[in-house]
Every structure is written in structure tokens, then in C-alpha cells.
Amino acid sequence: MILALYVAVLPSAFADSQDTLRILAFGDSLTAGYRLSKDDAFAHQIEASLKSQGYSVEVQNAGVSGDTARQGQARIAWTLKRGVSFDVVLLGLGANDGLRNSPIAQMKTSLEECILNFKKAGMHVYLLGMRLPLNFDKKYRDDFEKVYVDLAKKHNVALYPFALEGVAMNANYNLQDQIHPNKQGHKIIAERLEKWLKNDSFFKGSLEKAKLQPKAQ
């Protein structure tokens, strides 16, 4: 899977900003935008929305289909060596671990390493939680979801409870597999996630620094 760097043209009505907010969307197929164009994935939609509001923002989609938490952990160093520094990471891994009934402890260890590595790189981490379908064993589901809650609390990172809120199990917002969101599903994810991020004090402050000033006429 090719990692795409989305760089949109800044609105011509605004002057350059000295504080571009750089965001890394790091995850699996739910981040990558499985079977969709790069413009349809929620990462690009968030970038486009914020730019239309006059913010200097760049979002890199580093979603790789099929990645488990451990596989994501293994490619962090490579991702961060590509010459671009990031202020924020939207970390969305674990879904494939759950769907494969992988050991919870293994997933937790790998996800924790991801958080620590990103923090070490000076990035503000937002953890995107995941839930499993109801046909999974209840104890496994509960333990799976608890991983996100525990790690967010332990490492003092903000937890977005469910990345697919308002989209999961809705045929109108998913591809035929009923697992991967379609274009409309990603639009809903982007809108909900952007609204949630704007309520976070760190993100709100970062956006204010990245606000573009209107050009003198």
C-alpha cells in the first residue's frame, strides 16, 4: 500500500502562516480508505475542511490495509524518517487484531509502544478507539475495548471512543463487506472527528496558531 502525502493548495485569499499544523493519520485500512480514492479518506477530508476554514494544515495519510498494532509499530521509525515532522498523530490501530482474535496482551503491548514512540518524537497523540461486532465473545469484546481506555489513562492521551461512530453496521455508509466505510462513511467520520478535535484544548490552540490571515486588498 502506497502511503500518500496529501498537500492541497492553500486558499489564495489568505497569506502564508508560519505555523502549519502537521497531522499524521496512522492506522490500518480504516484510515487508508480501503477501495476509495485518496481524496475520499477521512484524513484528506479533514485537511480539506480545515483549509477551507482558513487554517494552514497538512494531513499525511499513513494508513496501511491489513496492519495489526504490531505491524504498525514496526513501521513507525520508517514513517518518521521521511523528512517530515508532525505535531499531531491520529492513532487508529487494533481493529485487525480484534477481528483475528489475537491475544489482547499482545495488542496492548504493541499499541502502547506506538504511543510511546510517537510521544518520544514530540507528537501529541490522539487515540482512536475501536469496538468489535456483537457476535464476538463478550469478554473478549470488553477486554478489547478496555485496552484503549487503559492506555489513554495511563499515558494521558485523549481517547476518541469509537472511530466508526455513526457509521458501523449501517449499510448506507459501508462497502458491501459491511466493515469498511464508503465515501459517505468517511465523510461522517471526518465531520465527527474534526468536531471532537476542535473541543480539545491542545488541538484548538494549535489551530489558532495555524490560522491564516486575510491578504490585504
CA–CA gap between residue 156 and residue 1 (Å, rounded): 31
Answer yes or no: 177 catalytic.
Answer: yes
The catalytic residue among 29, 56, 110, 206 is 29
Q: Strands 57-63, 88-92: parallel, antiparallel or unpaired by DSSP?
A: unpaired
Answer yes or no: 65 catalytic.
Answer: no
CA–CA gap between residue 204 and residue 137 (Å, rounded): 39
CA–CA gap between residue 51 and residue 12 (Å, rounded): 11
CA–CA gap between residue 68 and residue 72 (Å, rounded): 6
The catalytic residue among 44, 87, 180, 186 is 180
Secondary structure class of 198 (helix, strand, coil)? helix
Cα angle value 40/42/78 (rounded, 5°) = 105
User: For the sheet containing 158-160, what is the strand order?
Assistant: 4-6, 57-63, 21-27, 88-92, 124-128, 158-160
Answer yes or no: 180 catalytic.
Answer: yes
Burial classification of residue 195, based on how many CB atoms lie within 10 Å of its CB (0-12 exposed, 13-18 middle, 19 or more buried): exposed
**Residues that are catalytic:** 29, 177, 180
